[in-house]
Amino acid sequence: MSVVTRFAPSPTGMLHLGGARTALFNWLYARHHGGSFRLRLEDTDSKRSTPEAIAAIVDGLGWLGLDWDGEMVRQSARRQRHVEVAHGLLAAGGAYRCYCSPEELETMRAEARAQGRAALYDGRWRDRDPAEAPPGVDPVIRFRAPQEGETVISDLVQRRIKVDNSALDDMVLLRADGTPTYMLSVVVDDHDMGITHAIRGDDHLSNAFRQTQLFRALGWEPPAYAHIPLIHGADGAKLSKRHGAVAVGAYAELGILPAAMRNALLRLGWSHGDDEIIDTAQAIAWFDLDAVNRGAARFDMEKLHSLNGHYIRESADADLLAEVEPRLAATYPLAATAEGRRRIAALLPEAKARAKTLVELAENLAFLFRDPHDAMTPKARRLLDNLDPEAEARLGALARMLEELEGWDEALLERVVRAFAEGEGVGLGKIAQPLRAALTGSHASPGLFAVMAALGREETVTRLGHAGESGRSER
C-alpha cells in the first residue's frame, strides 16, 4: 500500500511554526516512502476561515518548497458527502437524533460539574423513541459511540495508548442546522482521500480516539496516527510571540533561507544522531517516525541563525544576488542596475561568509551604494577627522595614482597600494585604515582590495576625494 499523508490546516490565521513542521513531517514521510502528500484546507468554519489565511498557507508552503500532490482539497466543498455519511450511519443505527435543547444540555453539564463528574452528554436520546421528540426542536445527529471496552491506538510516536470508552460521550456529527462537525468531516475526508498516515500535533491526540471509533463504526480502517509533541521556546515555555516570530512568512522577511528553515523545523522533535546540518535530500533519505522524540521540541532562534549562516555560505552567488538585489534596490535604486549587480556580485563571495541572514548580508553590502558620510561609524569618523595633513596629502596622491592606473582588479590593487605605502615609507595600515574608512564609512569591512575592486575606479576615486573634504567641514 502506497503511503498517503496530508497537511490539514484550518485556515484561520497565519501558517505558524507548528503547522509548518507538521507539513514538513508529512511531506518528508511521503517523499521518503515514494507516496503522496495531500493538502486539505479545513475551512468549514466559514466565519473564521479567511482568504488571507488560505493565501498565507499556500504561500508559506510554496516558500518552504513543500509541494503537494493532486488538487488542494477544500473541506467546505465536501459538505454534501459528509452529510450523506452521517445519514448513512443514522439509517444503519450507528447514530441517532438527539432533541436536547441547549438549556437542557447546559443543565446536564452543570449537574455533572456539581457532582465532580466530566461534563459529558448522558446519552438520554440514545434509545429514546423519537416519537417523544418535543415539537419545534431541530435535532442534532449524534454518534452512537461504544460504551463498553476501550479504544486503543498504536500511535507511531506515542506508542500504544488507550482510553476507556466510558470516558467518551456521543459526539455530534451533524448540528441542528444540518452542518457537519469537524470530527465527522476529518474522518470522512481522511477515508475518501485514502490517507494512510496522519501526522499532526499532539493536541489532536484525544480527537484520535473519537475519530478511531467513528472510522470503525463506518467500517473503515483509520489511518496510522503519529502525534508529534508541541513546540516550546528555547526557555522551555510554550512557543509564543516573545520567542520571536511565530508566523512562517515573517522568517522570509527576516532573511531566512527556506533550506535553513526546513532544517530547523526538521530538528524540532526529530533527530538523526548528533547531526545538526541535514539538507533536504538527506532528510528525505533518513526521515522516519521512529526518531520523533516524545518530549516537547525546543525552537531556538540562535540555532536557526547559525543554520542559516551555513546555508547562505553554501548558496550559489547567483541565487544570493537575486535575493539581495531587491532588498538593496528598495533603498538604493542603483543596486538594480548592471553596475549595481556588478558591485554586489564582486563582493558576494566574501560577504556571504559572514552573514547569518539575507537582511544582514544586504546590510553588509549597503555601503556599496550609500555615501559613506551618511552612515559613518564613530570610529571611522574619528579616524578621518584626525588625519594629519601629511596623511591627507597621501590619500590625495593615492587617489591621483589610482585614477591613472591601468587595469582594475583586486590583485593589481593590492600590489599597487602596497607599493605605494612602501614608496611613502609607511606601513600598509597607515594607508589602509583611512582608505577603508573613506570607502566604506566603517573601520571593519570586507577585504579592502575586494572593496575597491567592487566599487570600481570612479567610485573609489570619488570617495577618496570626498574623504578629506568632509573631515575639514566637520572641524
| 8 near ligand GLU (CB under 6 A) | yes
Residue 434 binding ligand GLU, by CB under 6 A: no
Q: Which is nearer to ligand GLU, 16 or 394 (CB)?
A: 16
Q: How many CB atoms lie within 10 A of CB 342?
A: 12
Our CB check for ligand GLU shows the closer of 200 and 373 to be: 200
The smaller minimum CB distance to ligand GLU, of residues 208 and 320, is found at 208
Rounded to a whole number of angstroms, the minimum distance from the CB of residue 327 to ligand GLU is 33
Based on the shown chain and the rule CB under 6 A, indicate whether residue 307 belongs to the binding site for ligand GLU: no
Site residues (CB under 6 A) for ligand GLU, limited to 154-193: 186
Active-site residue flag, 238: no
> Looking only at residues 39 through 58 of this chain, which bind ligand GLU when binding is defined by CB under 6 A?
42
Nearer to ligand GLU, 85 or 387 (CB): 85
The binder of ligand GLU chosen from 16, 142, 144, 200 (CB under 6 A): 200
From 4-12, 312-320, 324-332, 421-429, span contacting ligand GLU (CB under 6 A): 4-12
Contact set for ligand GLU, span 337-396 (CB under 6 A): none
Strand partners, 16: 247
Identify the residue among 3, 4, 9, 340 touching ligand GLU (CB under 6 A).
9
- Residue 299: closest CA among 99, 84, 64, 16: 16
In angstroms, give the least distance from the CB of 10 to ligand GLU.
Answer: 4
Residue 74 within binding range of ligand GLU, rule CB under 6 A: no
What is the Cα 388 distance to its own chain's centre?
53
Please, what is the minimum distance in Å from the beta carbon of residue 270 to ligand GLU? 18
From edge to edge, which strands make up the β-sheet containing 172-174? 95-98, 140-143, 172-174
Which neighbouring-strand residues pair with 226? 199
Q: How far apart, in whole angstroms, are the C-alpha atoms of residue 443 and residue 378?
A: 9
Assign 334 to helix, strand or coil.
Answer: helix
Q: CA separation (Å) from 165 to 74, 145, 150?
A: 32, 8, 5
Helices (H), 74-224: 79-91, 102-114, 182-192, 205-217
Contact 468, 429 (CB under 8 A): no
Distance in Å, CB of 42 to ligand GLU, minimum? 4
Whose CA is closest to 383, among 425, 444, 459, 424? Answer: 444
- Closest to ligand GLU by CB, 10 vs 442, is 10
Q: What are the C-alpha distances in Å from 430 to residues 109, 373, 465?
A: 83, 21, 17
> Considering only residues 87, 109, 204, 457, which one is a binding residue for ligand GLU as defined by CB under 6 A?
204
Which residues of the shown chain bind ligand GLU in the complex (CB under 6 A)? 8-10, 42, 186, 198, 200, 204
Catalytic residues, by residue number, are 241
